[in-house]
Structure 1
Amino acid sequence: MVLEHELGRHRLFNGLQTVLILGGLTLTLSLPGYLLAGPGGVLMSLSAVIVTAVMMSWMPARMILARAGAERLPPSRAPEVHALLRHLYAGAGLTIAPQLYYAPSAEINAFAVGGPHDGGIAVTDGLLRLLTRRELGGVLAHEVSHLRRGDTRVMSIATAMTRMTLWLTTAVQLAILISLPMMLSGEGSLPWLTLLTIAVAPTLSVLLSLALSRNREYTADMEAVALTGDPAGLASALVVLERQRSGWLASLFGRRPPLEIAWLRTHPSTAARIHRLAEIDDAPHAPFGDTDEVMPLRRPIPTRRRSGHRWR
């Protein structure tokens, strides 16, 4: 069981880290904006991010999930999964009806879209067919935690800031390219500080966004355990997920790549997440049923397949 004071401390640390990372993203975005148009460029770039975030918050989760190739999974097709999700929603204090979606992918994956007032969770066919009821409970609790904390909205803002940084640095590069003949003729000098800024800003923005994503994933794991009281269930699901991921990499490269750079990942390493879960595994139990029980769909779901889409 996760101690309440430990979870509160983790939430506080997560909040402070989120503020610092978003502050770093704001500063990184402001630099090319200032180089392009002075204080007005900073104001316009930040205003564009705010407008983008507001527009994305108005977009219903069902539209985003539909664009990703997921379709609504009715309770008649998966009553046990819906019952499990309703239990988790109630425990998380979410008053909206659970919105469950299905994607016909063999990959073991699930993701949440939206916030606590308008959100949905998508699950893949591989997830439903390969995870046990206990493991599925841990994964769904993780996604419910994302919804409750509005993680997808936070990451949408970070993504908008990263894209805006890339666009602004590209505009600065074009401005330098246009003025390059004049500089070479002796009427000016190469702005080395500006060149360094536009070279570093996009990479720094991406790294900050990835750090923010990893931070939210750690917190969602803790919140999931607070909902289920079963860290071993989520840890077991992570083992299955890592086993599939390792098999996919081995089939792609002939063997698993020996080096994975931690700060280039959207999620923390599976080993690190399992280690953290093991630290709070004081009294493991299975609140969602036997560890060997799976919950297949009652009937196959006719879903339009989309090529080229990769699930997180």
Structure 2
Amino acid sequence: MPIGTLRLLHSRLKNSLQTLLIMGGLALVLAVPGYLLAGGLGIVVSLGVVMAVAFASSRVPARYVLAEAGAGLLDRHQAPRVYRLLDTLYERAGLTQPPQLFYAPSSDLNAFAVGTRRDGGIAVTDGLLRTLTLRQLAGVLAHEVSHLRHGDTRVMSMAAAMTRLTFWLTTALQISLLLMVPMILAGDVRLPWSLLLVVAFAPSLSTLLQLALSRNREYTADLDAATLTGDPEGLASALNVLERHQGRWLATLFGRYPPAGLEWLRTHPPTEERTRRLMKIDELPESSLHHPLGDHGHKPAEINERPGPIGRRYWMRRWR
């Protein structure tokens, strides 16, 4: 069934609504132990801590991880063709900041966005650049550009902060239950069943909601990448390559298909479902019909020079 502009808009609205509902669920799960510990003040303090932690973690730790991984900043003369591709994707995505591409000397096939749309970039591994064609790389880069465009790094940082704080609050509730054991045994206090239920299920429920949010943002980024490149087949092909290279451990452990219940514990949706959705996209907005690579998509990405690690001082200078 063709997916035109109206259906693309419908899919985006649906994914956005799902994001709001999941974030609301995370906030509700966090609010319950906060309320049991300190009433209304506990809810306010908990949500305030989440906002502060999410704001800080979305600006610093991702860059710190890049430095720890030995990543380097690729200049334009080192990867001119990839930067021309990124320029087009940034322009179509409405990102006004110049693109930044980081190189990690790892044989893994991976790419990820760091920072925000105002001061962020995309990191790619050496294995990814050596394995994918430019057409496939365009789909992967467009996927990461979409994460920057929609602020997914900050959304996921907030979700992670909610999950961690829920775990800490339920740990505090467990300690309070242990302190109440003598009074419960003496019959002075009734067994607080509501407290037991919160302690038992809140951390797991929060984790499952966080994983569901991650899968939701991946679907949204796939759809957005197809509109940016005008080539959903390119991203679908890249996903299949990544699955062949990095999904082998699942085949080794579980046979060809992992157990169905395992899907709930994934940060990314199943590749089969992602490619199925991409291949259903037959109509795209007029602005995305011209592929940014022209007729050069079958060629590999060329890196003229591998950069050295940028180190921690680079990030310190960036924020002065």
Q: Provide closer, same or farther for how the CA distance between residues 134 and 53 of structure 1 changes in structure 2, counting only shifts above 3 A.
A: same
Deviation at 1:50, TM superposition (A): 1.5
Runs of 5+ in structure 1 lacking a partner? 306-312
Question: 1:51 & 1:9 partners in 2: Cα distance?
Answer: 33
Superimposed CA distance per residue, residues 114-145 of structure 1 (whole angstroms, 9 cap, x where no aligned partner): 22211111001111000000000000000001
Does residue 293 of the first structure (1) align with residue 299 of the second (2)? yes
Q: Is the 8 A contact 1:132 1:292 kept in 2?
A: yes
Relative to structure 1, is the Cα distance of residues 24 and 170 closer, same or farther in structure 2, using a 3 angstrom cutoff? same
Alignment of 1:186-265 (within 5 A): 186-250=187-251, 253=253, 258-260=258-260, 261-265=262-266
* TM-score with structure 2 setting the length: 0.88
User: Are the equivalent residues in 1 in contact too, given 2:115–2:153 (CA < 8 A)?
Assistant: yes
CA shift for structure 1 position 292: 3.2
Q: Does residue 67 of structure 2 align to residue 49 of structure 1?
A: no
Whether contact under 8 Å (2:106, 2:125) holds in the other structure is yes
Q: Do the aligned partners of residues 62 and 74 (structure 1) sit closer, same or farther apart at CA in structure 2, a change above 3 Å counting?
A: farther
Distance 1:164 1:119, change over 3 A: same
Residues in 1 aligned to 2:296 and 2:13: alpha-carbon distance in whole angstroms: 35
Q: 1:37-66: CA deviations, max 9, x gaps?
A: 122211111111122123234538644532
Distance 2:29 2:214 in 1: 17
1:9 maps to 10
More deviation, 171-180/131-140: 171-180
The one-character-per-residue Cα deviations of 1:170-206 (angstroms, maximum 9, x if unpaired) are: 0100111122122222222221221111110011101
SS at match of 1:187: coil
1:92-134 deviations in Å (ceiling 9; x for gaps): 1111010111111111110112222111110011110000000
SS of residue paired to 2:215: helix
Instruction: Give me the whole-angstrom Cα distance separating, in 2, the residues matched to 1:105 and 1:304.
Output: 15
Given residue 272 of structure 2, which amino acid in structure 1 is its aligned partner? A
After TM superposition, the structure 1 stretch with the greater mean CA deviation from structure 2, 241-250 or 198-207, is 241-250
Question: What percentage of residue pairs aligned between the two structures are identical?
Answer: 56
Change (3 A) 1:24 1:120: same
SS in 2 for 1:95: coil
Look up the match of 1:310: none
Aligned CA-pair RMSD: 2.4
The separation in 2 between residues aligned to 1:190 and 1:250, in whole angstroms, is 46
The offset of 1:249, in angstroms, is: 3.9
Distance in 2, matches of 1:51 and 1:285, equals 42
Question: Is the 1:61–1:120 contact (alpha carbons within 8 Å) kept by the matching residues of 2?
Answer: no
Corresponding residue of 1:130: 131
In structure 1, the residue corresponding to 2:247 is in which secondary structure? helix
CA, structure 1 residues 7+192, in 2 after alignment: closer, same or farther (shift >3 Å)? same
| 238-247 or 4-13: bigger deviation | 4-13
Structure 1 residue 70 displacement after superposition? 2.4
Question: How many residues matched?
Answer: 304
Aligned to 1:114: 115
Distance 2:185 2:205 in 1: 30
Cα shift at 1:69: 4.0
Aligned twin of 1:309: none
Partner-residue secondary structure (3-state), 1:105: coil
Q: Is the 8 A contact 2:109 2:125 kept in 1?
A: yes
Deviation at 1:79, TM superposition (A): 1.6
Go from structure 1 to structure 2 and tell me whether the alpha carbon gap of 1:281 and 1:108 turns closer, same or farther (over 3 Å shift).
farther
Partner Cα distance (1:45, 1:32) in 2: 9
Q: CA deviation at 1:255?
A: 5.2
Paired residue for 2:89? 88
Task: Give the letter for the 1:296 counterpart.
Answer: E
Give 3-state SS (helix, strand or coil) of 1:297's partner. coil
Alignment of 1:92-171 (within 5 A): 92-171=93-172
Aligned residue identity for 1:45: S
Higher mean alpha-carbon deviation, 130-139 vs 50-59, is at 50-59
Structure 2: which 5+ residue stretches go unaligned?
Answer: 312-320
